[in-house]
Amino acid sequence: MALEHAILVSLLEQPGSGYELARRFDRSIGRFWTATHQQIYRVLRRMETDGWIAVEEVAQDSRPDKKVYSAAAPGRAALAGWLREPVEPETVRHELAVKIRAAAFDEPAALKSLISEVERHRESHAALLARYLTGERRDFPDRDPAASSPQQELQHVVLRGGIEYERMTLAWLDDVLATLHRIAN
């Protein structure tokens, strides 16, 4: 499990409330780790009990109070220990690929519906790529990598991974569409 660790990294980059973390997991961190607010609140409570994170209750005007969490020393130590453990290559779950192979066993009409679905996926990947590229121009305008801090460089290289993943996926979805059209005719 790495949700604890992803939360720790996020809190080290910037302390925040459970709600703020949930938003980050919807946006930037969600690129490589997803979590809903329910999961986040549950794990935050456990991490607080274990002393991995510190809480500060912050009263706000015209908004509900919030609990701002930050990484504590035992949390940093836990993260350091985890960093030294080997991780296994991720297990892949790609429903669309299952569907593409399933299409061979359905009526030809099913290809039409699959084509629409692949097109939908293509659009959503194109939109995500555009968002990544906008974020890259905003957060990493500097051409010279030596001018950035290690933290920025590491964030940037992870973002570049997201960008290349989306580019590859777009090209592959075009290949899939061409193949489906060829079969449909």
Partner DNA sequence: GTATACATGTAAACGGTTACATGATTCT
Partner DNA sequence: AGAATCATGTAACCGTTTACATGTATAC
**Total residues binding DNA (CB under 7 A):** 27
Q: Which does 90 bind (CB under 5 to 8 A by kind): DNA, a second copy, none?
A: a second copy
Q: Considering just the CA atoms, what is the radius of gyration of the chain in Å?
A: 21
Q: How far apart are CB 100 and a second copy at their closest, in Å?
A: 5
Q: Is residue 172 at the binding interface for a second copy, with CB under 8 A as the rule?
A: yes
Tokens 């992803």 identify what position? 6
Partner interacting with residue 144 (select from a second copy, DNA, none; CB below 5-8 Å by kind): none
Task: Confirm if 19 and 66 have CB atoms less than 8 A apart.
Answer: yes
The answer to whether residues 5 and 29 touch, using CB atoms and an 8 Å cutoff, is no
Instruction: Return the C-alpha torsion angle 20, 21, 27, 30, nearest 10.
Output: -170
Site for a second copy in 47-106 (CB under 8 A): 76, 79-80, 82-84, 86-87, 89-106
Window contacting a second copy (CB under 8 A); options: 14-22, 56-64, 136-144, 161-169: 161-169
Going from the C-alpha of 151 to that of each of 62, 156, 161, the distances in angstroms are 35, 9, 16
Which residues contribute to the site for DNA (CB under 7 A)? 1, 3, 17-20, 22-23, 34-39, 41-42, 44-45, 60, 62-67, 91, 93
